[in-house]
Amino acid sequence: MDQTVPLLQIKEITKSFASNVVLKGVDISLSAGEVVVIVGGNGAGKSTLMKILMGIYRADQGEVLINGEKVVLSTPSHALHQGIYLVPQEPMLFPNMSVEENIIIGIDEKKAELRKRLRSIIKKMGWNVSLSRKAETLSIAEQQLVEILRGLMRQARILIFDEPTSALTFKEIDLFFKIIEDLKAQNIGMFYITHRLKEVFEIATNVVVLKDGRITSSGHVSDFTEELLIKGLLSDEDEKLKKESRQEEKLPAERLSTADNPVVLEIKDFCGYGFNNINLQVKKNEVLGLAGVVGSGRTELAETVFGLSKSTSGYVYLNGENITDLKTSEVIGRGINYLPEDRHLNGIFGMGSVKNNITASILKSESGFLINDNKETEKAKQCIRDFRIKVTDENQKLSSLSGGNQQKVVIGKVLASEPQLIILDEPTRGIDAEARSDVYRIIEKLKEAGNAILLISSDYEEVLILSDRIEVMHNGTNIQSFENSGLTMDRLTEASFGVIDEVKEKAAEEE
Q: What is the mean pLDDT of residues 464-485?
A: 90
Q: By mean pLDDT, which of 163-172, 433-442, 470-479 is the weakest?
A: 163-172
Contacts of 83 by beta carbon, 8 Å cutoff, 6+ apart:
66, 155, 156, 157, 158
Q: Report the C-alpha gap between 14 and 212 in whole angstroms.
A: 12
Q: What is the mean pLDDT of residues 378-400?
A: 81
pLDDT level of residue 385 (50, 70, 90 thresholds): confident
**CA-based end-to-end distance of the chain:** 55
Instruction: Give how far the C-alpha of residue 238 lies from the chain's centroid of Cα atoms, to the nearest Å.
Output: 21
Q: Report the C-alpha gap between 194 and 52 in whole angstroms.
A: 18
Q: Which of 476, 472, 460, 461 lies closest to 499, judged by CA?
A: 472
Please give the residue that has the higher pLDDT: either 295 or 346: 295
Which residues sit opposite 315 in a β-bridge?
Answer: 268
Which domains does the chain carry? Answer: 8-233 (3.40.50.300), 237-335+420-426+433-511 (3.40.50.300), 339-418 (no CATH)
Q: By mean pLDDT, which of 53-57, 63-67, 152-156, 171-175 is the weakest?
A: 171-175
Q: Report the C-alpha gap between 381 and 409 in whole angstroms.
A: 11
Q: Are 244 and 261 in contact (CB under 8 A)?
A: no
pLDDT tops 70 at residue 366: no
Helices (H), 7-88: 46-53, 76-81
Please give the residue that has the higher pLDDT: either 239 or 136: 136
* Number of helical H runs and strand E runs in the chain: 19, 20
Choose the most confident range, by mean pLDDT, from 122-136, 273-287, 393-407, 482-496: 273-287
pLDDT level of residue 246 (50, 70, 90 thresholds): very low
101-110 core/surface letters (b: 16 or more CB in 10 A; e: else)? bbbbeeeeee
**Exposed, middle or buried by CB within 10 Å (0-12, 13-18, 19+), for 170?**
exposed
The CA-based dihedral angle spanning residues 214, 217, 218, 220, taken in that order and rounded to the nearest 10 degrees: -170
pLDDT tops 50 at residue 244: no
Q: For position 458, what pLDDT does the model report?
A: 81
Q: By mean pLDDT, which of 74-83, 143-152, 356-365, 453-462 is the weakest?
A: 356-365
Q: What is the mean pLDDT of residues 329-342?
A: 88
pLDDT tops 60 at residue 298: yes
Q: For position 133, what pLDDT does the model report?
A: 92
CA triplet 311, 312, 315: central angle to 5 degrees?
65
Tell me the average pLDDT of the chain. 84
What pTM was estimated for this model as a whole?
Answer: 0.64
**Exposed, middle or buried by CB within 10 Å (0-12, 13-18, 19+), for 507?**
exposed
Name the 3-class secondary structure at 325. Answer: coil
Q: Report the C-alpha gap between 211 and 233 in whole angstroms.
A: 6
Q: What is the pLDDT of residues 69-100, one digit of tens each?
A: 999 899 999 999 999 999 877 778 998 999 99
Q: What is the mean pLDDT of residues 466-470?
A: 93
Please give the residue that has the higher pLDDT: either 155 or 382: 155
Q: Which helix (H) or strand (E) covers residue 61, if one does?
A: strand 61-66
Helices (H), 188-336: 197-203, 226-233, 237-249, 298-305, 328-334
Please give the residue that has the higher pLDDT: either 19 or 250: 19
Q: For position 128, what pLDDT does the model report?
A: 83
pLDDT tops 90 at residue 109: no
